[in-house]
Amino acid sequence: MPESLIEASQLCVRRPGGLVLDNVSLALNERDFITLIGPNGAGKSVLLRHLLKLETPDSGSVTHRQGLRIGYVPERFQIDPTMPMPVERFLSLNNRLSARQIEELAAETHCDSLLDRPLAALSGGELQRVLLARALTSEPQVLMLDEPAQNLDVSGQLQFYKLIDALYEKRQLSVLMVSHDLHMVMNSTRQVVCLYHHICCSGAPESVARDPEFIQMFGDEMAQMMAVYQHSHAHDHTHDHDHAHLHEIKP
């Protein structure tokens, strides 16, 4: 068993309102594609920030594999409009990428036509692609995205998720993503982790959709919808309900 890229063990995070993360353990291995779901205020972003080591937990630990590079797409990004910042300059900030490398990166993330535009003038979808390009500037092994498609329309969401899929395959990445778009998440046979302060359930979408805790959280209707999605789309039903341990699931 190779060493995990990121391993969180027994994370507890306390905030004035109570425990935000309650004994959360999670491992991200090579080529994993984990989607973190859960209701608002469940602690998804907090977990992501701890996995990035941006914050220190009250107890528990996060270990990164030696030399790990993570590309991060934050949930909120709003540049002050008084800052004149063309996309090309933004992508070259604080790194040593050549103009050529920037162009290649932009082409890969469909930002080629945006390079001369000011960051403050981009649409939601354009900005997300630029942030994705920015996350890739460090040649990361892991891509972490916090609700990357929340401000996009449905076709924009679809395109963005397709782009992440393509990057996942082409760059042999591991991906950890927080998402609200249940229909998109459940429609793919990947690992889903359902968080509500603690990890309620995890595994392949179809098994998560059948989990009592998931049904309780998202309602019967949603769970049934997920099940329908799965039955009409999934080709691989070998994975049974998997509660505590996350292992690699074949696409």
Partner 1 sequence: MMAPTLITMLALALLAGPLGCFVVWRRMAYFGDGLAHSALLGVAIGLIAGISNQIGMILMAIAFASTLLWLRAQRLLATDTLLGILAHAALSLGVVAMALLGFEDAEVHDYLLGSLENISRDSLLYVVLGCGVSLGLLMRLWPGLLLMTSSEELAHAEGVPIRVYEFLLMCLLGIVVAAAVQIVGILLITSLLIIPASTARLIAGNPETMAIGGSIIAALCMLSGLPLAAAFALPLGPAIVTLTVALFLIVLSARLIAQRLRLIN
- Residues of the shown chain interacting with partner 1 in the complex, contacts defined by CB under 8 A: 52, 54, 70, 72, 74, 76-77, 79-80, 82-86, 89-90, 93-94, 118-119, 134, 138
User: Is the separation of the CB atoms in 35 and 191 below 8 Å?
Assistant: yes
**Which lies closer to partner 1 via its Cβ, residue 53 or residue 239?**
53
Q: Compare residues 119 and 223 and give the one whose CB is closer to partner 1.
A: 119
Backbone dihedral region of 133: left (phi > 0), alpha (psi from -120 to 50 degrees) or beta? alpha
In a 3-state reduction of DSSP, which class is residue 48?
helix
Cβ atoms within 10 Å of 188's Cβ, excluding its own: 18
Which CB, 133 or 226, lies closer to partner 1? 133
Residue with smaller CB distance to partner 1, 90 or 196: 90
Q: How far is the CB of 119 from partner 1 (least distance, A)?
A: 7
What is the nearest approach in angstroms of partner 1 to the Cβ of residue 134?
A: 7
| Assigned token pair, 146 | 């916090």
User: E strands, 92-153, where?
Assistant: 142-146
In the complex, minimum distance from the CB of residue 103 to partner 1, in angstroms, rounded to a whole number? 17
**Residue with smaller CB distance to partner 1, 83 or 154:** 83
Select 4 or 92, whichever has its Cβ closest to partner 1.
Answer: 92
CB of 63 to partner 1, least distance (A): 17
Cβ-based nearer residue to partner 1, 23 or 138 = 138
203 φψ region: left (φ > 0), alpha (ψ -120 to 50), beta (else): left
Query: Cα-flanking dihedrals φ and ψ of residue 186, to 5°?
Result: -70, -20
Q: In angstroms, rounded to a whole number, what is the distance separating the alpha carbons of residues 12 and 229?
A: 34
Shortest Cβ distance from residue 84 to partner 1 (Å)?
Answer: 5
Would you say 28 and 175 are in contact if contact means Cβ atoms under 8 Å apart? Answer: no
Minimum distance from residue 131 beta carbon to partner 1 (Å): 8
The pairing of strands 33-37 and 174-178 is parallel
The neighbouring-strand residues paired with 62 are: 8
The residue whose two tokens read 């001369």 is 116
CA–CA distance, 101 with 160 (Å, rounded to integer)? 22
Least gap, CB of 192 to partner 1 (angstroms)? 24
CB of 178 within 8 A of CB of 44? Answer: yes
